[in-house]
Structure 1
Amino acid sequence: MRGFFRWSNKWWPGLVPLVILWVVAAWNTTVPLEKDLTAEAGAALKDTILDKTRITAAGRDLTFSAEAFSEQGRRSALAQVESAPGVRLVIDETRLVPEAKPFVWSAERDVVRVTLGGSAPLPAVKARLAEAARAAAGGGEVADHMVLSRGAPQRFDAAAQLLLDQIGKLKDGKVMLSDTSIALSGMARELGGREAIAAALKNLPEGFTVTENAVKAPPYIFQVNKDPVAGIVTFTGYVPDNAVHAALVAAAARKFFDAKVVDNLKASVGAPSGFANAATLALGALSRLSTGSLVIADREVKLSGDALYGIAADQIRAGLATELPKDWKAATEVTVRPAASMVDPSVCQQLFADLFKKGKIRFETGRATIDPDSASLLDRLVEAALRCPAANIEIAGHTDSAGDDATNQALSEKRAQAVADYLVKTGLPSERLTAVGHGSTQPIAPNDTDEGKAENRRIEFVVKE
């Protein structure tokens, strides 16, 4: 017995290397096998659409977990893993991607980014929408908070792509899709943007409907600045169309009789109702200011500047307050320019002559009604008259030779009196003014051309000391 133990103590240490060799051999065999099986299973899934896919191996047994987008897709993926060469057993831990009820998707834009939220039906669709959002952001940041969900309506991809195109037209705002219902809100980036979005929404895929479109247009801005030092009146902003554009520029040329009009206007949709009438009225008010600015923002008229005398300031404020179209409002900050220094009558006469060289008092054809376009010139004449309070002024009316002498005589007298009445309403004493008519007896140009006749139809101021 004692010999047996002596013998066993000699042989068992020889087993240790054998065990180590066996373990190493088993490891070197199992690890490559598991890697190969995992690779084979992964290759079998290369054409399968799954999310959160994970395959682990324990010997020849695989644990397969993933989220599939349909039951058929889940079963097909499981079958492909089970059929991979060398696989003995597959432990199925697959499931379906959660279903969204309702299926909601959104895109929201602010100053710095476009944020995508809600659900996307497939990874490829999710990637395409993120790329479309980057294009809509114009280089801005894109925050992708979309999750993958089942339950998307048919043609979701096309609808969402079209809605992302509209996000690019917003300064800020949001588009939201809930199943097949669509809601939009925000501020359009440019004038006409709201209309462009509405037009684009008519191309939504069949079955989708817009339940709310609360996209607003940016303010419709029309602006005019009068600079008497440079002798320039500058127009910027928007007008509804070329016809209104031409009419306003032509009106400005008549109203601002001694200034150059710089036209930077652009035609755009979105003008409020009554824009043309309001802008024309406001231009008349601005023309009566020595310096000032006019801003029309939607239905609000903002006028600021200096009137030439106190009564003119009152008339301008009252005119804008009462004569604008319905639902329009006025905000006026009209002050009175400090009175110019007094001058002797001879200087006053020269002031009148200089003004009449630049413009003329206009009347309705064949009548003694003063054209509103003459208000600016009349105010300048009043200002000049106020500078020589000791001088009397003869207001002389003249006509062309068309018609009979008696009619022309009467018309010239009535027009001269209309001007005198206007001046009295501005505060000039009536005893300083005398209205006379000369008919067609004192032409300053031939009456055989339209141009000559226009020159002969005139009002003159003559200072009487």
Structure 2
Amino acid sequence: MRLSSVFILFCAFAFAAILSVATAWVAAEAVEESSERAIRTELDRDALTWADVDTNGLLVFLIGTAPTEAARFQALSAAGRVVDSARVIDQIDIVDSEGIVPPRFSVEILRNDSGLSMIGLLPAAVDRDQLIEDIRRAVPDAPLSDLLEIADYPMPDGLEEALSYAVSVLRVLDRSKISIEAGRVTIKGAAENEDARRRVEADLARRADGNLRLALDITAPRPVISPFTLRFIKDAEGVRFDACAAPTEDDRAEILKAASAAGLEGKLECRLGLGTPTNDWGMASAMGIRAIDGLGGGSITFADADVTLFALEGTDQSLFDRIVGELETDLPDVFVVNATLPTPPEAAPQGIPEFTVTRSPEGNVQLRGRINSEIARQTADSFARAAFGSTTVRTTARVDETLPANWSSRVLAGLEALSRLSNGAVTVTPDALTIIGNTGNQNASSEIAGLLADKLGESELFEIDITYQEKLDPLLGIPTPAECEAQIVEIIGDRKITFEPGSATLDAATRDIMDEIAELLQLCGDIPLVIAGHTDSQGREEMNQQLSQDRAQAVVDALRERRVLTASYEVRGYGEEQPIATNDTEEGREANRRIEFKLRQPEPVEETETTLETIEESAPTDETSQTDGAEEPSDGQN
């Protein structure tokens, strides 16, 4: 009986022990599953999908490969929010950053009537807020949509410079697409006309640093050409176009193919424009060029629907008749052909009448030779003075009433053609009009050929020999922003920009300096210029700062009155903060009262540490400084 009781008691204790162990095991499993599930939820909430969780009792193991050390720490923090951090065992690896190829960083900035938008990927090292602020400053009235993404990789070489350049040119084109990569900027946009396109391309090119690769695709509406002119010549001097216009790319290709077959070599130019009298212009022009080639030489001029052909002297009559007849038959009905085969003179006449106009590189113009009436002489003189300036013209032409009736109109046409050249000469004879000279306009030959064809008519012979020179091209002579800054220094020299004492009113003696600076800045165009005002330390600091701001603004207003575009200029008033001399003497205070002109530089990147060696090795920043120099009282008024 006693043995049975002991056995029963033993079984009860065994059952209780087994039940306790089972309960503990179930509880541990529940804790493990609950912890694992809660930590997974927290990791998912932080988008840490690379991390995984494993549990063993109360211990939690974090495993996986983190892209960065920061991501590893973020995963540990997420687990620590669920369980005691002492229970978290870190088994996370870090990706070898040296083996990772960084992504291709690029940005596209789109500007249109709706505003601006930025799309792309930038490294975390870029100051995104500063970039947006710079863009808003460049185009202040345009809404900005920021769709940029950031990746934590090092800054590639050349990307920061490309971004700064892109921001600086944003205001140049109202409709544009700017694609930015490290060391490269691609700009696509539209200009109002061909001249504006050339001006914009020159401006964009001069802004670019030498290490920056720049690709430009600026389009412009095709100009209206009137008369629509093509003039092709083949003679002893060679094969050339004096003028070439085409309505489409296909027409231009057809024209240039015919010219090449006729012997034209080198770079072939033909303007695209509007105003052609027929859709068959390219085909008709190519026929005319082949006709001149078949004749062995001569000239052909298309001026709208009028076609004027001159064969070379001595051309076989039967060949002339055949080729001209074929041309008249094959050309579309809209064209009217006037063909001439010059007759060799029996003997050269003596004393051929001639009228000559010359324009020197210095701008002096002389009219000499013969003209057909006193009224015609006065008309030519008045026309020349209006075109070239009354002080540069000298007329010594004499009256010869035996000259042809159309002599005067040919003289005026020659004067108008010469006015489009930088220098040159026009010669009028009974049989021809010849113009030679130099120009900075790449389209001058085409424009003058069209002018003479329109003024002289289809039966007149004229010759053009015009040379384009880059040094005369005003668009290629635009100084760089740095050159503009340096030239302001040269303009001011030892003179001073002065104000009336204690005020922001420019002194009358400053008018000449402002006129010269304005003339330079009109040529410089849209540059990031800062105009800063400074005072001495006399008076209250707040008053000095406001006075310096008002004086800098007065300079900008004076430039605007002189028709300078100042939208890209920034006005800053520093008051007494940046003296360049001591304020203990009148000479020093006068030096500190000044206006500074300098280019706006990109915001410097803040360094975490600055050593003494770094400071000593840094070169000082050059500034263009100009004192206002006014003799002012020292009673608190700067």
* TM-score, normalisation: structure 2: 0.28
- Please state which structure has a larger fraction of its residues in strand: 1
* TM-score, normalisation: structure 1: 0.35
- Larger Cα-atom Rg: 1
